[in-house]
Amino acid sequence: MRIARFPVLAVPLIALLATALLAEPLALVFEPEAGLEITYDLEAKGTRVMRVPGQAPVTAKIGFKAQRVDAFEGPGGAKMAMTRTLKDIRLTEDGQRQEIPSSIRDKAVAFTADSRGNIIAVDKEWAAGAPEGFGDILNLLETVPFGTGPVEIGDKWDASAPEDPDSKSDAEIIKDVSEGQIVAIYESDGMQVALIQQHVDAEMLYKDTPQEGLNMRASLRAEILQSNRVEDGALLGIKGKLYQKIEVVSPQGATLLSIEMPDLEGTLRVAAE
């Protein structure tokens, strides 16, 4: 299986904008060739704050490092079969290493992606038992979906993840903004690279919590930059910031418990040879 090593450029955004190469609308398609394998380095850090009224906040520093190997099996088009393996996972809380279930470590998990880069099928139980915050980090470093057709620099599109047909949540959507846009096209080592920006601002109220009579309110804001190879949509890098807050709310609207991640930052880049 051929292994690809793509550079992630650390070029100021203003310089990229000044050298934009897009002369006509561009339709990005996620179609890495079958047999392609890409290894990424993942890293994230942030703070988790738990608050209960009348008590002192409980704060923890979160750290994360891992390698991710994406292997593409084809056939491409509307559905791309692939596997994803997480290796050398290190998740810490206040410097103390957290236990990662063996079902997650070094396991090739089967995924299916669509032509926009959305993950549309996966074993939902593969991350069962993972420590708190593990899923938030992986979501921050997930692919921003492409637009549904040709776009120009500055054009915005709905970058929301597709709805899960098996989900039965009765969440009330208070706010749901997820916008993607190409902010630059540039050349690197003979490749054309698209720089995509995503802005997320969402708030939901869940009324099906296990505690009868209690609701859960979730707020999420994120700013993400992502680079993709124009030729086949292959992911080259991600840099993101996320704010998340989950509150348990009484029927009267009082917050009984809140868990907040105010400053989660993460990067994904192609691993060095």
How far apart (Å, rounded) are the C-alpha atoms in residues 51 and 248? Answer: 11
Give Cα separations from 194 to 44, 46, 71, 74, 126 (angstroms): 23, 28, 21, 23, 31
pLDDT score, position 6: 47
How far apart (Å, rounded) are the C-alpha atoms in residues 273 and 66? Answer: 16
pLDDT score, position 257: 95
pLDDT band at 210 (very low <50, low <70, confident <90, very high): low
CB atoms within 10 A of CB 90: 12
The string of pLDDT tens digits covering residues 220-249 is 999 999 999 999 999 999 999 999 999 998
Return the domain boundaries, the chain.
3-29+44-65+132-270
Mean pLDDT of 263-267: 96
36-47: string of b/e by CB count within 10 Å (b at 16+)? bbbbbbbbbbbe
> Is 259's pLDDT higher than 90?
yes
pLDDT score, position 9: 45
The alpha carbon dihedral of 22, 23, 27, 29 has a sign of negative
| Extended strands (E) in the chain | 3-4, 37-51, 58-76, 79-93, 96-97, 109-113, 119-122, 156-158, 172-188, 191-206, 215-229, 235-249, 255-270
Q: Which pair of tokens denotes residue 160?
A: 């929301």
> Is 215's pLDDT higher than 70?
yes
pLDDT score, position 206: 84
pLDDT score, position 208: 60
> Is 268's pLDDT higher than 80?
yes
Q: Which pair of tokens denotes residue 270?
A: 């192609």
How far apart (Å, rounded) are the C-alpha atoms in residues 176 and 141? Answer: 19
Q: 41 or 6, which is more confident? A: 41
pLDDT band at 163 (very low <50, low <70, confident <90, very high): confident
Mean pLDDT of 194-203: 95
pTM of the predicted structure, to 2 decimals = 0.87
Question: Side chain identity at 73, as an amino acid letter?
Answer: E
CB atoms within 10 A of CB 234: 23
The string of pLDDT tens digits covering residues 41-83 is 999 999 999 999 999 999 999 999 999 999 999 776 678 999 9
> Is 25's pLDDT higher than 80?
yes
